[in-house]
Amino acid sequence: MNQFWTSVLGQPKILRMEAKAVSQDSPKLLDRLRAEIRVRHYSIRTEEAYVDWVRRFILFQDKRHPKDMGAEEVRDFLSHLATERNVSASTQNQAKSALLFLYREVLKIELPWLDEVVAAKVARRLPVVLTPTETRRLLNAMSGTMGLVASLLYGTGMRLLEGLRLRVKDVEFERREIIVREGKGNKDRVTVLPENLILPLQTHMEKVKALHERDLEVGFGEVYLPDALAAKYPKAARTWGWQFVFPSAVRSIDPRSGIERRHHLYEASVQRAVREAAKIAEVHKPVTPHVLRHSFATHLLQAGYDIRTVQELLGHSDVSTTMIYTHVLNKGGKGVVSPLDR
């Protein structure tokens, strides 16, 4: 095995030591990729996804160096994903984005064929939406913190990670609003705080504050701060206002800094709780936390709210994205009365 792949993909300890001795000055390709991603303040999920796709691309091409490959190899890899792995168009496009980032930002190679690689056309699907009755049954089948999270997602229209990343300082009880920070597209927006959730949320946050104070007593209590805020405000990470509204029950090690912190709830836990509640409530639809966001938008339109208002609450850049929810308003398909009903 050549020393490049010994250093990049990771091999037995002896081979890694030999590679290190041969090339002390050349950083690993995947480390360079991570560094370029972090310079641009991409999320850790984007970092993990891009690194994984580049690794898969390299292994698919028999561990050849990307600088020795071109358009044909990229097309072969993307075709393999579509025809043999049967991935969705959005997944295929994510793989393409990762490879374009590798060539342009890491290898600093501007090749004309990069723009010629055709992106897969993403199919336009109608969202799964629960009826108000199904929504009530689902939420009634949940309790505790998971039930509060699900109710908040339905009552505000937030995405799952937007809800889990919610900070104490961004909940405005007096104005009955929630400020969503760094939502999709790195945009902030304001959404409604349901009156029925004010008391449950306040009770929950009292428990969270007690947990935070116990962490402070044992030398912890620091939370992750975005971008360079930790350097600008070194004491902010321990303050109550910056804590997550839905913290994890256990502390964990930050994969980038190595610091032990209490992060927010793991999204898979909420997803699993919603699936289990759907079974209990006998909702025979593919229910996920994101379905609650779809239901929020559709039920607001059914109640007669203006589509522009719904657009702002959801954080959509284009009203055409919000228009998709008009397909399940109180009337039947397209508002047409079937001739069979006549």
Among 61, 53, 64, which Cα is nearest to 2's?
64
CB 311 within 8 A of CB 187: no
Name the residue among 165, 175, 194, 119 with its Cα closest to residue 270: 165
Q: CB of 166 within 8 A of CB of 243? A: no
Nearest to 153 by CA among 181, 199, 108, 193: 193
Conformation bin of residue 291: beta by default, left when phi > 0, alpha when psi is -120 to 50: alpha
Sign of CA dihedral 69, 70, 71, 72: negative
Find where tokens 């358009």 sit. Answer: 71
The residues near 279 (Cβ < 8 Å, ≥ 6 apart) are none
Q: What are phi and psi of 309, to 5 degrees?
A: -65, -45
Q: Which amino acid is at 69?
A: M
Count the helices and strands in the chain (H runs, E runs): 15, 5
Contact call for residues 164 and 329 (beta carbons, < 8 A):
no
User: What stretch of H or E contains 253?
Assistant: strand 252-253
Catalytic site positions: 159, 184, 290, 293, 316, 325
Of 275, 328, 333, 315, nearest in space to 138 by CA: 275
